[in-house]
Amino acid sequence: MLTSVDTKSRFSRRTLFKTLGLGGAAALMPARSRAAVLPDTGQEMATLLDLNKCIGCGACVDACRDVNASRYPEPKKPFPVMYPSRVKAEDFSDNRHVDNRLTPYNWLFIQSATAEGREVFIPRRCMHCQNPPCANLCPWGAAARQGSGTVAINTDICLGGAKCRDVCPWEIPQRQTGVGLYLDLAPSLGGNGVMFKCDRCSDRVANGKLPACIGACPNGVQEMGPRDVIVAKARDLAKATGGFLYGLEENGGTNTIYLSPVSFEKLNAALMEGKQSGKTGANTSERVEQQGPGRPHLARVADVMAGSNTLAWAVLLAPLAGVASAFLKGTRKLMNTSSPQPAVSDAAARKEERNA
Amino acid sequence: MPSLTLYRLVVAVLAVSGVAQMPIFKRYYIADIPGLGWTADFIFTHRLHYLAAAALLFWLARRIVLSGASSIGEGRLALLLALIATGVPRMLKNLPDVSFSPTATMLIDWTHLGAAMALGLTALAMVFKRHPHTSRR
Ligand code: SF4
Ligand code: SF4
Ligand code: SF4
Report d(CA B78, CA A310) in Å as an integer.
Answer: 28
pTM, to two decimals: 0.84
The beta-strand segments (E) located in A273-353 are none
* Phi and psi at residue B88, to the nearest 5°: -65, -50
Q: Which residue has the higher pLDDT, A103 or A351?
A: A103
Q: Is residue B113 within 8 angstroms of chain A, CB to CB?
A: yes
Taking CA atoms, what residue in A is nearest to B22?
A139
A109-115 and A118-124: which strand pairing? antiparallel
Instruction: Give buried/exposed letters for A308-334 (b at 16+ CB in 10 A, else e).
Output: bbbbbbbbbbbbeebbebbeeeeeeee
Q: How far is residue A233 CA from its own chain's centroid?
A: 24
Q: Which sign, positive or negative, has the C-alpha torsion A63, A67, A71, A75? A: positive
Q: Which residue has the higher pLDDT, A288 or B93?
A: B93
Q: CA dist A134 to A305, B91, B101, B109, B116, Å?
A: 10, 14, 16, 14, 22
- What is the C-alpha R_g of chain B? 17
Q: Which residue has the higher pLDDT, A35 or A62?
A: A62
Q: Render pLDDT for A129-172 as a digit per residue (tens, 0 to 9).
A: 999 999 999 999 999 999 999 999 999 999 999 999 999 999 99
Report d(CA A63, CA A108) in Å as an integer.
Answer: 10
A47/chain B closest Cα distance in angstroms: 18
Length of chain A: 356
Which candidate, A143, A141, A142, A145, places its Cα nearest to that of A131? A145
Q: Render pLDDT for A188-227 as a digit per residue (tens, 0 to 9).
A: 888 899 999 999 999 998 888 999 999 999 999 999 999 9
Closest residue by Cα to atom 8, ligand 1, is: A134
pLDDT beyond 80 at A4: no
- Partnered with residue A113 across adjacent β-strands are A120
Mean of pLDDT values over A10-35: 38
Report d(CA A72, CA A197) in Å as an integer.
Answer: 10
Please choose from A67, A70, A107 the residue to mutate so as to test ligand 2's pocket, defined by most ligand atoms within 8 A of CB. A107
What is the overall mean pLDDT for chain A?
A: 83
pLDDT of res. B1: 56
Q: Render pLDDT for A247-269 as a digit per residue (tens, 0 to 9).
A: 999 999 999 999 999 999 999 99
Q: Render pLDDT for A221-246 as a digit per residue (tens, 0 to 9).
A: 999 999 999 999 999 999 999 999 99
Closest residue by Cα to atom 3, ligand 3, is: A54
- The SS3 of residue A223 is strand
